[in-house]
Structure 1
Amino acid sequence: MARRRSVRDFSPEPLPDGVLEAAIQAAASAPSGAHVQPWRFVVVSDPARKRRLREAAEAEEREFYSRRAPAEWLDAVAPFGTDWRKPFLEVAPAVIVVFEVHQGPHSPKPYYVKESVGIAVGLLLATLHQAGLATLTHTPSPMRFLNDVCERPPEERPYLVIPVGRPAPGARVPALTRKPLAEVMVRC
């Protein structure tokens, strides 16, 4: 797991059959508050829909990067080469849009929604990594346009966008170091 990295340059090479289904099944095994399972995983692979997703995300991101993003944040992400342009949303063979499911006409009241969905996403990312695939966690700001692009009801709220695929040849992957265990683990 220590070798897992976020990738922004994807190959359009198709995914192996069944890998997304297996990964989402693993994610859906996550614990959740009152076992309500307040998540929805929408797999976007249709080129026209991925194009709509990219265009809408770039419009929000262009506004965010040019007007709302604090300088401190822009400085923090500069080494990763990220900006408002999101070609990976169209190039990656699949994009998983994760939604939190809140109470609605066909869904019960959920408990600990963000915590539950976060655990499920962690399992999803780990499973996709173990399957030899690369991912990126992307959070366009704001994300409500995803309901329209993915045709989801209002009680489903966007949580995260995850392009999935193989890295493109020559993909830039930052050399990162992790904090040592002594910095992140405390015994008491």
Structure 2
Amino acid sequence: MAGVLQTYLPFLAANWQLVLMALLAAAVLHLLLERCRTASIPVPAPPAAVAAAAAAATITTAATAATPWRDEVAPEDDDLTPPPDVLLPRVPFSMESISPEEMVRRSEQFYKQMNGRRSVRAFSRAPVPRQAVESAIRAAGTAPSGAHTEPWTFVLVESPEVKAAVRRIVEDEEEVNYRKRMGQKWVDDLAPLGTTWLKEYLTDAPFLILVFRHAYGVDEQGQRFTTYYNEISCNLACGVLLAALHQAGLATLTSTPLNCGPRLRQLLERPANEKLVLLLPVGRPADDCTVPDLTRRPLERIMVVL
């Protein structure tokens, strides 16, 4: 046996005393913790040597052990409804077959259109068709999501009273953000864009869209289920939404009001599992609207080909 250890496990053969001591120390520490937990008494801090030995004995196991899914704020595992053990039916899939030249033409046309998109802070009060906005939201709902859980809610606000209430909440928090929370460097970095804590566009724009992500899902029976990659999934949906609104000739502003989420969620009567991701004013730009003269990075600055 010693020969086998010397041949295949030289480290263990040379240091078996230390390994044995570490395992014994881990066992003693485990028994101590269990006894304290059972007796409902405070757990004393273990001696440094015992703690170090226990950590050394368990580090390999901890590194290789499988852990359950964790994503942002999620319910306890015991509260989750297990997914159905069924395979969805399959249907044929096909895409329009177009020539390579047409592929290039369409992609370049879409780029030129999207390159004209800007963040607008001056909106016309002229009405826009709600159907156009609803179709853009429907397009956003086609975004991919983790395990097809579709972890998003789009709250469309057109009521002047609700828009005014949203503006009050945002301006209350943003004034504190600019004066205290953000820090002078952040405020200075925003200065060239001309932004302040005043948000007139929240009542000028015909529509507001508030995007909420589901930290966990709730089915029709009130049972909770996991929404995998819910933050990334919502980000993808927001990107589709911006493109769809711009394609429809509507201007937007990607607003992420700091520290406003809980109050806005309460105002809009959204459930506790929904977290605010984005606030978009939507409408036509004002006649006198101006935007910063910005340029975007060229392709070679944002793409690497291997």
- Give the structure-1-normalised TM-score: 0.97
Structure 1 residue 99, shift from structure 2 partner: 0.1
Partner residue of 1:141? 258
Partner residue of 1:122? 239
Partner residue of 1:81? 194
Structure 1 residue 180, shift from structure 2 partner: 1.0
Contact 1:51 1:89 survives alignment (8 Å):
yes
Tell me the distance in 2 between the aligned counterparts of 1:158 and 1:68.
19
Larger helix proportion of the pair: 2
| Aligned amino acid, residue 208 of structure 2 | V
Moved more, 46-55 or 68-77: 68-77
Partner residue of 2:93? none
Tell me the distance in 2 between the aligned counterparts of 1:63 and 1:109.
35
* Superimposed CA distance per residue, residues 14-56 of structure 1 (whole angstroms, 9 cap, x where no aligned partner): 1124101110110000000000000000001100000000000
Question: Which structure 1 segments of 5+ residues have no match?
Answer: none
| Aligned amino acid, residue 60 of structure 1 | E
Tell me the distance in 1 between the aligned counterparts of 2:142 and 2:177.
35
Larger strand proportion of the pair: 1
- 1:178 pairs, out of 267, 291, 296, with 296
- 1:167 pairs, out of 255, 274, 285, with 285
Tell me the distance in 2 between the aligned counterparts of 1:113 and 1:105.
14
Structure 1 residue 105, shift from structure 2 partner: 4.1
Structure 1 residue 148, shift from structure 2 partner: 1.4
| Aligned amino acid, residue 154 of structure 1 | A
Contact 1:102 1:108 survives alignment (8 Å):
no
Tell me the distance in 1 between the aligned counterparts of 2:211 and 2:298.
31
Distance change >3 Å, CA 77–CA 160, structure 1 → 2: same
Say which SS state the counterpart of residue 149 (structure 2) adopts: coil
Tell me the distance in 2 between the aligned counterparts of 1:161 and 1:145.
13
Structure of greater Rg: 2
- 1:99 pairs, out of 197, 212, 224, with 212
Moved more, 164-173 or 68-77: 68-77
Specify which structure has the bigger relative contact order, considering alpha-carbon pairs within 8 angstroms and separated by 6 or more residues. Answer: 1
Say which SS state the counterpart of residue 144 (structure 1) adopts: helix
Say which SS state the counterpart of residue 18 (structure 1) adopts: helix
Identity %: 48
Question: Which structure 2 segments of 5+ residues have no match?
Answer: 1-113
Tell me the distance in 1 between the aligned counterparts of 2:218 and 2:130.
34
Tell me the distance in 1 between the aligned counterparts of 2:235 and 2:216.
18
Structure 1 residue 102, shift from structure 2 partner: 2.1
Tell me the distance in 1 between the aligned counterparts of 2:136 and 2:120.
18
Contact 1:36 1:108 survives alignment (8 Å):
no
Say which SS state the counterpart of residue 21 (structure 1) adopts: helix
Structure 1 residue 104, shift from structure 2 partner: 4.9
| Aligned amino acid, residue 159 of structure 1 | V
Between Structure 1 and Structure 2, how many residues are aligned? 188
| Aligned amino acid, residue 207 of structure 2 | A
Say which SS state the counterpart of residue 155 (structure 2) adopts: strand
Tell me the distance in 1 between the aligned counterparts of 2:287 and 2:263.
31
